Chains A and B, each alone.
Chain A
Amino acid sequence: MKTNIIVSCLTILLAVSSFQILHEIKISTSEITMKKNVMQIKIKFFADDLSSTLSQIVKKTVYFNGTQVDNATLTHLNTYVKSNFAITINNTAVPYTFKNSLIDDNLSTQIKTVWLTYECTYKNPETIKSFELKNTLLFDGIPEQKNISKIILENRETKTLTFENQNDDVKKLIQY
């Protein structure tokens, strides 16, 4: 029995030691808020995840230092976001423009995040019947990536959508 226990212990130990060291979180979050005619889009990334994915695309190392994303990186980043995060309302694509960026380097928790804010105007939000969101952010760089998007339209029920790279979740449709 003792031999069995020792052998089992060693087997499990080998398996355990081959696992990932830290419980890595591969999630980005976004919030789309519509108040009156203004739609605001906030996207939050982990800086290291965004950096590794963007570096692969632009084929050079991208750093997120300081309090805001630098202009050179921002050009690539905006192109990347717009090709992977698309809003379609009532079967019509809704273009949005960059508003600002923030690099939040939390020294106490030691977690660095990048926040991007975009805006657009949408006339007559009360006419919205369908809202489609494509969110494939970081899917090309991180196989286990999950994206959570919250849609808050004025006078409508708040919706939360989850996009999973492993489940090939690309687009989600909300009917009002």
Chain B
Amino acid sequence: MQEFWTYLTLGFTHISDIKGYDHILFIITLCCIYSTREWRKVLVLVTAFTIGHSITLLLSALKIIVFSSYIIELLIPITILITSLSNLIYTPTKEQQLFHYALALFFGCIHGMGFSNFFSAISMSDSILLELASFNIGLEIGQILIVVLFFTTYVLLNIWTTIKQYDWKIFFSGVGTSAAIILLIERI
């Protein structure tokens, strides 16, 4: 149980650590096109991201797939950049929504490889399944917390100001685009 909590805490602090804001930024850019009324779509989207990163985290932690951490560190800001730019260009229609979920799944796979870099750095046992499961649960809790905080802020701002969904989307997609470019330049 103690081991479970240790790795759960590590997973949670890893995703919610503001110093490693790339994962937080990706989740925000993924969700910022939706209003609170569209919570079902957000739920599906976050689930797709979760499935994606869980698959690659598992496969790479078990050394079934191996990849260059340099490439992954480059790909992560690219996922933020593409998501932010697509937010600025279009809002998915009903038909395009499925593609948006698939994109979240695919990008989740890339972020999962990033998580596995961290996980393999902290793991040294041969039997890693418990560590891996608790680490992943920690990631999920952190991810849910980010989404909840994001939408709570949105709701509160909606009460106090006349902020429009469009402005909200433009604001976070703009931040996402700029931050992703900075990250990309500095990681090359």
Q: Are A111 and B121 in contact (CB under 8 A)?
A: yes
Q: Are A17 and B182 in contact (CB under 8 A)?
A: yes
Q: Are A46 and B20 in contact (CB under 8 A)?
A: no
Q: Are B167 and A16 in contact (CB under 8 A)?
A: no
Q: Is B95 an interface residue (CB 8 A)?
A: no
Contacts of A111 in B (CB 8 A): 69, 117, 120-121
Contacts of A31 in B (CB 8 A): 124-125
- Alpha-carbon gap, A1 to B73, bound state (A): 35
Interface segment, one of B40-48, B85-93, B101-109, B170-178 = B170-178
- Give the contact-size bracket for chain A: 20 to 34
Q: Are A23 and B19 in contact (CB under 8 A)?
A: yes
Interface string of B8-28 (1 = CB under 8 A from A): 011000100111111000000
* Chain A residues within 8 Å of B, Cβ to Cβ: 1, 5, 8-9, 12-13, 16-17, 19-25, 27, 29-31, 42, 44, 46, 108-111, 113, 148, 150, 158-160, 162
Nearest first, the 3 A-B pairs at minimum CB distance are A23-B20, A160-B3, A160-B6
- Alpha-carbon gap, A27 to B14, bound state (A): 12
With A108-B67, A108-B68 known as contacts, the answer to whether A9 contacts B179 (CB < 8 A) is no
Residue of B nearest to A29 (CB): B124
Q: Is B146 an interface residue (CB 8 A)?
A: no
Q: Are A16 and B19 in contact (CB under 8 A)?
A: no
- Alpha-carbon gap, A17 to B6, bound state (A): 31
The smallest C-beta distance from B1 to any residue of chain A, in angstroms, reads: 9
Q: Are A160 and B2 in contact (CB under 8 A)?
A: yes
Q: Are A23 and B69 in contact (CB under 8 A)?
A: no
Contacts of A160 in B (CB 8 A): 2-3, 6-7
Q: Are A42 and B124 in contact (CB under 8 A)?
A: yes
Residue of B nearest to A144 (CB): B19
Q: Are B178 and A109 in contact (CB under 8 A)?
A: no
Residue of B nearest to A10 (CB): B178
- Alpha-carbon gap, A110 to B74, bound state (A): 13
- Alpha-carbon gap, A86 to B67, bound state (A): 36
| 19 CB < 8 A contacts A-B | A1-B167, A5-B171, A16-B21, A16-B175, A16-B178, A16-B179, A17-B179, A21-B187, A23-B22, A23-B118, A29-B123, A29-B124, A30-B124, A110-B69, A111-B117, A148-B10, A150-B3, A160-B6, A160-B7
- Alpha-carbon gap, A44 to B125, bound state (A): 11
Q: Is B98 an interface residue (CB 8 A)?
A: no
Query: Which residues from 124 to 149 on chain B have a C-beta closer than 8 Å to any C-beta of chain A?
Result: 124-125
Interface string of B44-88 (1 = CB under 8 A from A): 000000000000000000000011111001000000000000000
